[in-house]
């Protein structure tokens, strides 16, 4: 029994090392394969524990009942939480709500999925804090996945339709006084260039991140012009200009910013800096 358990552990470790050296296999696929093999290994061990003690047959029935009851009770107390997380992990694996690298919000924690195991999921937040969430907590929480998995990678029209925000359809943008045809062409060119990069990298997902900021009513148009300059600056970093929309327009204006990128790590590395630069614009005294 011990030898079999050791062999299964070594096999899973070697498989993990092998997959880490194979760069051509996507991380999400590697994780699913490793997860499946770990489940199979645990099921094998459980089967051997239940049926792998033939010496029990030589014991008197009363001793067999005592030993079985004691072991079952001990395992129930020890592994109740582990088993719950394991079952939840299997459910997460079947439903597949997220993959490694996805931008998600789980139980109030918003960040990037860094690892998925049999019992927990590790998230790195925008504040660079590592959060471990048990699988059972994930199953009982609302999970929001902001990463877009595109159904078609070849057609630009499908790419554009699936990556736009609901506000893009309406008139929620107030970045300039006159939204003329030249600006439309610039934005269209930006999306096409982003699609070209998307296709050349042979990807099928786009990572998004949204955040809101309050902007004072006074000198709002001037602040928006400064926002435009910042968005143009960060276009080279994220691969496409961050977009923004006006959600509320009163004494204080709520502006929603939306980042699109092919690399979720860029959100971790540069979104805090982008937000900080936006705050500097809002708090600075603008001379007219």
pLDDT digits over 99-135, tens only?
888 999 998 889 999 988 878 899 999 888 999 998 8
Whether pLDDT at 1 is above 70: no
The overall average pLDDT reported for the chain is 76
* CA separation for the pair 74, 51 (Å, rounded): 18
Instruction: Provide the pLDDT confidence category of residue 238 given band limits of 50, 70 and 90.
Output: very high
Residues 30, 70 contacting (CB under 8 angstroms): no
Q: Report which secondary-structure segment, H or E, holds 211.
A: strand 205-216
Pull the structure tokens for residue 116. Answer: 């998925």
Looking at per-residue pLDDT, the higher value among 140 and 43 belongs to: 140
Does 29 map to a domain?
Answer: no
Q: Report which secondary-structure segment, H or E, holds 55.
A: none
Does 204 map to a domain?
Answer: yes
Looking at per-residue pLDDT, the higher value among 186 and 169 belongs to: 186
* Structural domain of 236: 148-283
Pull the structure tokens for residue 120. Answer: 């927990």
Whether pLDDT at 164 is above 70: yes
Count of all residues that appear for the chain in the document: 288
Does 252 map to a domain?
Answer: yes
* CA separation for the pair 283, 275 (Å, rounded): 12
Q: Is 175 exposed, middle or buried (0-12, 13-18, 19+ CB in 10 A)?
A: middle
Looking at per-residue pLDDT, the higher value among 124 and 149 belongs to: 124
* CA separation for the pair 246, 240 (Å, rounded): 19
Q: Indicate the SS3 state at residue 113.
A: strand
Does 42 map to a domain?
Answer: no
Cα 94 to chain centroid, rounded: 17
Closest CA to 148 of 198, 189, 89, 213: 198
Does 26 map to a domain?
Answer: no
Cα torsion 103, 109, 114, 118 to 10°: value is -120
**Model confidence, pTM:** 0.67
Give the pLDDT confidence score for residue 284 in this predicted structure: 80
Does 185 map to a domain?
Answer: yes
What's the whole-number mean pLDDT along residues 187-210? Answer: 85
What's the whole-number mean pLDDT along residues 150-157? Answer: 71
Does 196 map to a domain?
Answer: yes
Give the pLDDT confidence score for residue 224 in this predicted structure: 85
Q: Is 173 exposed, middle or buried (0-12, 13-18, 19+ CB in 10 A)?
A: middle
Percent of the chain with pLDDT over 70: 62
* CA separation for the pair 215, 281 (Å, rounded): 10
* CA separation for the pair 248, 246 (Å, rounded): 6
Choice among 33-47, 206-220, 258-272 with the minimum mean pLDDT: 33-47
Read off the CATH number of the domain in which 208 is found. Answer: 3.30.300
Name the domain count of the chain. Answer: 1
Closest CA to 36 of 93, 87, 91: 93
* CA separation for the pair 85, 118 (Å, rounded): 7
What's the whole-number mean pLDDT along residues 227-231? Answer: 89
Instruction: Provide the pLDDT confidence category of residue 10 given band limits of 50, 70 and 90.
Output: confident
Instruction: Provide the pLDDT confidence category of residue 167 given band limits of 50, 70 and 90.
Output: low
Give the pLDDT confidence score for residue 178 in this predicted structure: 47
Does 256 map to a domain?
Answer: yes
Whether pLDDT at 61 is above 70: no
């Amino acid at each position: 029994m011990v030898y079999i358990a050791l062999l299964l552990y070594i096999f899973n470790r070697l498989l993990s090392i092998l997959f880490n050296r194979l760069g051509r296999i996507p991380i999400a696929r590697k994780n699913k394969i490793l997860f499946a093999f770990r489940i199979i290994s645990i099921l094998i061990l459980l089967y051997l524990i239940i049926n792998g003690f033939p010496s029990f047959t030589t014991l008197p029935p009363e001793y067999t009942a005592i030993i079985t009851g004691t072991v079952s009770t001990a395992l129930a107390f020890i592994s109740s939480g582990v088993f719950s997380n394991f079952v939840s992990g299997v459910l997460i694996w079947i439903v597949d709500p997220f993959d490694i690298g996805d931008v998600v919000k789980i139980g109030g924690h918003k960040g990037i999925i860094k690892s998925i195991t049999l019992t927990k999921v590790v998230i790195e937040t925008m504040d660079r804090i590592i959060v471990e969430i048990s699988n059972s907590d994930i199953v009982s929480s609302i999970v929001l996945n902001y990463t877009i998995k595109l159904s078609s990678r070849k057609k630009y029209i499908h790419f554009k339709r699936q990556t736009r925000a609901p506000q893009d359809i309406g008139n929620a943008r107030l970045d300039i006084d006159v939204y003329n045809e030249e600006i439309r062409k610039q934005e269209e060119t930006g999306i096409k260039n982003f699609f070209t990069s998307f296709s050349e990298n042979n990807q099928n997902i786009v990572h998004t991140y949204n955040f809101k900021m309050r902007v004072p009513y006074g000198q709002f148009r001037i602040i928006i012009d400064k926002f435009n300059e910042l968005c143009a600056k960060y276009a080279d970093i994220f691969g496409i200009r961050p977009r923004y929309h006006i959600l509320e327009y009163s004494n204080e204006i709520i502006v929603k910013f939306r980042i699109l990128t092919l690399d979720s790590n860029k959100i971790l590395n540069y979104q805090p800096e982008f937000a900080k630069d936006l705050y500097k614009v809002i708090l600075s005294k603008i001379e007219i």
